[in-house]
Structure 1
Amino acid sequence: MPKLSPADVPEVKLDAAAAAVEASMTREQRRGLFEKPGTVVYAIVELTSKSYTGHAEDEDKPAQVKVRVTGCEVARTDEDAAALVEARRAMYRGRQIDGTFDEVGQGPMRPDASLSGLMASKPSEDELREYKRRREQDRQDEYVR
């Protein structure tokens, strides 16, 4: 893997594979994006670097890295979307305060604090495991009948 100088900032290109995004969307969301141009959906995405284009010293091309969406969850309710919007705003304010932008935001705010109320209403890992266990048990019971 090539080493970049501290001054080099690679361009980030999004890989065309969007299966993780599509798989996390409902049928209605996909139809809405198609039928109503300008429709917005909110998602949490996981990006993984998949390939890079190194740059030779005598080339005038910037370094590039290609990323792919390898994990995604799309908000399916207005409550979920509002929480993601608030988390995005909080993160944006953080970038402003960190000096990425010229204007100053309302003050520091942790996105995880914005999501804590929403997370309380979502299933825990233990609840998911229990659900899967019960579903498997129901399948086995059906098979026995």
Structure 2
Amino acid sequence: MPKLTPADNPEIKLDSAAAAVEATLTREQRRGLFEKPGTVVYAIVELTSKSYTGHAEGEDKPPQVKVRVTGCEVARTDEDAKSLIEARRAMYRGRQIDGTFDEVGQGPMRPDGALADVMATHPSEDELREYKRRREQERQDEYVR
């Protein structure tokens, strides 16, 4: 991998694979995006770098990295969308305070702090496991009957 100077700021190219996004959209959201241009949906996405293009000495082409959406959850309710909007605003405020708009680097490292209060009303991993366990138990009980 080529080394970047502190002044280099790689361009980000989004890979065309959108399966992670498509899988989380409801039928109504898909139809809305198609039928009403300008429709907005809010999502939490996970980006993974998949390939890069280095730059040769003396070439006037900036370095590029291609990223792919490898995880995604789309807000399904207005309440969830408002929560994501507020989290985005909080993270933006953090970037303003930290002065990371033009910096090369990681930027704010604790976006989960902005989401902690918002996510308190959503199911935890333990609650999901318990739900799945109860559902499986109900299926077994029905099978025995």
Question: In the alignment, what sits opposite 2:19?
Answer: 19
What one-letter code is carried by the residue in structure 1 that aligns with 2:54?
A: G
Q: How many angstroms does 1:2 deviate by?
A: 1.3
> The residue matched to 1:71 in structure 2 has which SS?
strand
Deviations 1:38-89 (A, max 9, x none): 1111111110000001111132211100000111111111111111111111
Q: How many angstroms does 1:111 deviate by?
A: 5.7
Distance 1:5 1:116 in 2: 36
Distance 1:113 1:64 in 2: 30
Question: In the alignment, what sits opposite 1:131?
Answer: 131
Q: What is the Cα-based RMSD across aligned positions, in Å?
A: 2.0
Q: Is the 8 A contact 2:11 2:65 kept in 1?
A: yes
The correspondence of residues 97-116 of structure 1 with structure 2, limited to 5 A, is 97-100=97-100, 112=112, 114-116=114-116
Q: How many angstroms does 1:124 deviate by?
A: 1.1
Q: How many angstroms does 1:128 deviate by?
A: 0.5
- CA separation of 1:94 and 1:32: change in aligned 2, threshold 3 A: same
Q: Please give the TM-score of this superposition, normalised by the length of structure 1.
A: 0.84
> The residue matched to 1:126 in structure 2 has which SS?
helix
Q: How many angstroms does 1:125 deviate by?
A: 0.9
Distance 1:117 1:92 in 2: 17
What one-letter code is carried by the residue in structure 2 that aligns with 1:134?
A: R
Structure 1 residues without counterparts, runs of 5 or longer? 102-109
Report the number of matched residues: 137
Q: Please give the TM-score of this superposition, normalised by the length of structure 2.
A: 0.84
Distance 2:68 2:4 in 1: 21
Distance 1:29 1:89 in 2: 23
Question: In the alignment, what sits opposite 1:45?
Answer: 45
What one-letter code is carried by the residue in structure 2 that aligns with 1:16?
A: S
2:30 paired with 1:30:
yes
Q: Is the 8 A contact 2:50 2:66 kept in 1?
A: yes
